[in-house]
Structure 1
Amino acid sequence: MIVFRYLSREVLLTLSAVSAVLLVIIMSGRFIKYLAQAASGALDPGSLFLIMGFRLPGFMQLILPLGLFLGILLAYGRLYLESEMTVLSATGMSQQRLLGLTMIPAAFVALIVAWLSLSLAPQGANQFQLLLNKQDALTEFDTLVPGRFQALSDGSRVTYTEELTNDRTNLSGVFISQKSLGQDAKDRSISVLVAETGHQEVRPDGSRWLILNNGYRYDGNPGLADYRAIKYDTYGVLLPKPDASDEVTDRDAIPTLDLIGNPEPRAIAELQWRISLPLLVFIVTLIAVPLSRVNPRQGRFLKLLPAILLYMGYLTILISARGALEKGKLSPTLGLWWVHALFLAIGLLLLYWEPLRLKLASRRSVKEMTRG
């Protein structure tokens, strides 16, 4: 029991440290991406942290298996390097018993991963897509930031305002540049609107208009001297109608219960993927325990790179099989299970290779002695 607590503590502490580092790296990259979208007006800046919260379970379900894999390699590698594993081996600690003790904290991690992949991650993905649908329903002036040029997603219009009231209805110091997206060069005209003030107006038919006051409109083609300038007291600009939708189509956002019994290849692939993640925890544990065995003279990082490459190969083949299953190129019966069976065989080979090699070597030496 003392040995079990000691080994579990070493593995879980290393798992926590590695997972925290991986989470910070991944979350930072995603946050920068969403921050750039918010700066361009594609997302509401106030919803950035809410988006990251919804995406967190999806990140954790992939980080925890890798964190456990690296945690076993680093923790047990240190014990081998400091000859603690040698002492445990002298007291009867075999590789099989070490694996059995390691499978207990691995089962705890697998339960967390199963909860994330089967329940929490789909809920987070569902809320994330609903939030994006709400963002798509916003007009360009709902996300407009004073003092910053903001372009529409298709690049057809750029809008700027010096000041904007809190209710987002009244503007001052307005600049709008709008261009046509025709293929002919003669059709690629640009219209520039400047106005002292402006306000939004909703008509009875539901259409939104931007009413500009006291300004100028300039029309022309780039590279040509043909242009015109119009002074106006009041000018109306029709705002594009937002695409409001409450439909959730992302496969990651479909509840697990809705995937069970669904004959579509995409649903089958998604269900098998969610089941594969907790199963992945046990198989990488089987692979990590024999790979963590190092010679103190070789250093603890000797097998780290090959082990990471093996893990990445496992995950890459699993993702490729998932894509093939979605496209109907793989039988649902075969599905993703053959990948797990392949790496289960690799794990068993790694576990029993060293004892088998020593046994064969001892038999060979006995035969040589007999012959002598």
Structure 2
Amino acid sequence: MIVFRYLSREVMLTLSAVSAVLLVIIMSGRFVKYLAQAASGALDPGVLFLIMGYRLPGFLQLILPLGLFLGILLAYGRLYLESEMTVLAATGMSQQRLLAYTMAPAAVVALVVAWLSLSLAPLGAQQFSQVLNQQDAMTEFDTLEPGRFQALRDESRVTYTETMSDDRINLGGVFISQKRLGQDAKDRGITLLLGEKGRQERRPDGSRYLILDNGYRYDGIPGQADYRAIQYQTYGVMLPKPEVSEEVTDRDAIPSSKLFSGESTDKAELQWRLSLPLLVFIVTLMAVPLARVNPRQGRFLKLLPAILLYMAYLTVLISARGAMEKGKLHSALGLWWVHGLFLIIGLGLMYWEPLRLKLASRRAAPEVAHG
């Protein structure tokens, strides 16, 4: 029991450290992407951390199996390097018992991954989709910041305001540059609107208008001198009405209980969610023999081949999922053949070295007897 606690502690500590590093790397990249969208006005800066929180379960369900795999390799590799595994082997610790001890923390990780993939990650993806739908329902004036030029998503209009009231209704020092995309050449060009002040108005039918006061409108084509200038006291600009869909179409956001249908895409998604906790046990089976190193070889000798093997496992699994979604792979075969293939590889790694040593000892025995 002391050995079991010691091994489990080493694996879990290394797992936590590796997973934390991987999580920081992945979330940092995603956060930079969302931060760029917020800077361009596509997202409200106030929802950035909310979005990252909703994406966290989806990140963890993929990070934890890899963290466990690397945790076993690094923890047991250190024990082999410091000859602690040699001492344990001398006291009767076989590879099978070591695997059995390692399956205990692996079972804990598998339960967490199952909870994430079947429940928490779809819920987070659903909330994430709802936040994006709410962002799509906002006009550029809902995310406009005073003193900054902001373009629409299609870059057809650039808006600027010097000041803005706290309720985001009244504006001061408004500048709008909008492209005209007419069929005729004379209908194309740029329209510039300058207003001393402006305000947003919402009509009973839900449409929004920007009302500008005391300003100028300029129409023309860049590179030509025939600009038309109009001075106005009041000018109204209709704001485009966003098209918002309340329906969540992302398959990652569908609850697991609703995936038991006849569609191949639903079955592929369900099998993918079930595959992640199953993957934990198979990568544990592969990691235990791959962690076995000679002290003279170094701790990281098998790390690169092990990572390549893990990447191959995940790549084949994702490819099979895509083939199943397209109907090229029958749901009865599904993703299970991938797990079966790498289960065989794991068993081969587990029993190949003892079998090789046993065969070598048998060949050496007649030579000793003959000598």
Contact 1:156–1:181 (8 Å) recurs in 2? no
Name the counterpart of 2:215: 215
Q: Give the deviation of 1:140 after TM superposition.
A: 1.1
Give the Cα–Cα distance (whole angstroms) in 2 for the partners of residues 190 and 240 of structure 1: 18
Name the counterpart of 1:309: 308
Give the Cα–Cα distance (whole angstroms) in 1 for the partners of residues 350 and 84 of structure 2: 19
Q: Give the deviation of 1:366 after TM superposition.
A: 2.2
Give the Cα–Cα distance (whole angstroms) in 1 for the partners of residues 104 and 258 of structure 2: 31
Q: Give the deviation of 1:226 after TM superposition.
A: 2.1
Q: Give the deviation of 1:364 after TM superposition.
A: 1.4
Name the counterpart of 1:353: 352
Name the counterpart of 2:268: 269
State the secondary structure of the residue aligned to 1:293. coil
Q: Which amino acid aligns with 1:189?
A: G
Check if 1:199 corresponds to 2:199.
yes
Q: Give the deviation of 1:363 after TM superposition.
A: 1.4
Give the Cα–Cα distance (whole angstroms) in 2 for the partners of residues 185 and 105 of structure 1: 70
Name the counterpart of 2:101: 101
Q: Give the deviation of 1:248 after TM superposition.
A: 0.6
Name the counterpart of 1:330: 329
State the secondary structure of the residue aligned to 1:8. helix
| Percent sequence identity over aligned pairs | 80
Q: Give the deviation of 1:371 after TM superposition.
A: 5.5
Q: Give the deviation of 1:367 after TM superposition.
A: 3.4
Check if 1:245 corresponds to 2:245.
yes
Q: Which amino acid aligns with 1:93?
A: M
Check if 1:19 corresponds to 2:19.
yes
Give the Cα–Cα distance (whole angstroms) in 2 for the partners of residues 354 and 184 of structure 1: 77
After superposition, the C-alpha distances for 1:260-290 in whole angstroms (9 at most, x for unaligned) are 2x11111011000000000000000000000
Q: Give the deviation of 1:205 after TM superposition.
A: 2.4
Name the counterpart of 2:4: 4
Name the counterpart of 1:295: 294
Q: Give the deviation of 1:204 after TM superposition.
A: 2.5
Give the Cα–Cα distance (whole angstroms) in 2 for the partners of residues 186 and 104 of structure 1: 74
Q: Give the deviation of 1:207 after TM superposition.
A: 1.4
After superposition, the C-alpha distances for 1:288-312 in whole angstroms (9 at most, x for unaligned) are 0000000101110000011011101
Give the Cα–Cα distance (whole angstroms) in 1 for the partners of residues 310 and 183 of structure 2: 49
Task: Report the aligned-residue RMSD.
Answer: 1.2
Q: Which amino acid aligns with 2:132?
A: L
Name the counterpart of 1:33: 33
Pairing of 1:7-86 with structure 2 (within 5 A): 7-86=7-86
Q: Give the deviation of 1:368 after TM superposition.
A: 3.4
Give the Cα–Cα distance (whole angstroms) in 1 for the partners of residues 209 and 87 of structure 2: 79
Structure 1 regions of 5+ residues with no counterpart? none
Contact 1:137–1:245 (8 Å) recurs in 2? no
Give the Cα–Cα distance (whole angstroms) in 2 for the partners of residues 310 and 334 of structure 1: 22
Q: Give the deviation of 1:185 after TM superposition.
A: 5.6
* TM-score (normalised: structure 1): 0.98
Q: Which amino acid aligns with 2:342?
A: F
State the secondary structure of the residue aligned to 2:358. helix
State the secondary structure of the residue aligned to 1:160. strand
Q: Give the deviation of 1:24 after TM superposition.
A: 0.5
Compare 85-94 and 174-183 and name the one that shifted more: 174-183
Compare 337-346 and 221-230 and name the one that shifted more: 221-230
After superposition, the C-alpha distances for 1:103-154 in whole angstroms (9 at most, x for unaligned) are 0000000000000000000000001101111111111111111111111111
Q: Which amino acid aligns with 1:253?
A: A
* TM-score (normalised: structure 2): 0.98
Q: Which amino acid aligns with 1:4?
A: F
Name the counterpart of 2:254: 254
Name the counterpart of 1:181: 181
Contact 1:23–1:60 (8 Å) recurs in 2? yes
After superposition, the C-alpha distances for 1:304-353 in whole angstroms (9 at most, x for unaligned) are 01101110111111111111100001010111111101110100000000
Give the Cα–Cα distance (whole angstroms) in 2 for the partners of residues 224 and 268 of structure 1: 60
Name the counterpart of 1:161: 161
State the secondary structure of the residue aligned to 1:88. helix
Runs of 4+ in structure 1 deviating by more than 3 angstroms, as ranges, are 181-188, 367-372
Q: Give the deviation of 1:212 after TM superposition.
A: 0.3
Give the Cα–Cα distance (whole angstroms) in 2 for the partners of residues 66 and 30 of structure 1: 19
Q: Which amino acid aligns with 1:109?
A: V
Q: Give the deviation of 1:99 after TM superposition.
A: 0.3
State the secondary structure of the residue aligned to 2:298. coil
Could you say if the C-alpha distance between residues 356 and 210 of structure 1 is closer, same or farther in structure 2, counting changes exceeding 3 Å? same
Give the Cα–Cα distance (whole angstroms) in 2 for the partners of residues 50 and 203 of structure 1: 31
State the secondary structure of the residue aligned to 1:205. coil
Could you say if the C-alpha distance between residues 185 and 76 of structure 1 is closer, same or farther in structure 2, counting changes exceeding 3 Å? farther
Give the Cα–Cα distance (whole angstroms) in 2 for the partners of residues 217 and 70 of structure 1: 63
Q: Give the deviation of 1:242 after TM superposition.
A: 1.5
Q: Which amino acid aligns with 1:277?
A: L
Q: Which amino acid aligns with 2:70?
A: L
Check if 1:126 corresponds to 2:126.
yes
Give the Cα–Cα distance (whole angstroms) in 1 for the partners of residues 364 and 346 of structure 2: 28
Give the Cα–Cα distance (whole angstroms) in 2 for the partners of residues 181 and 324 of structure 1: 41
Give the Cα–Cα distance (whole angstroms) in 2 for the partners of residues 323 and 183 of structure 1: 42
Could you say if the C-alpha distance between residues 58 and 183 of structure 1 is closer, same or farther in structure 2, counting changes exceeding 3 Å? farther
Name the counterpart of 1:110: 110
Contact 1:180–1:189 (8 Å) recurs in 2? yes
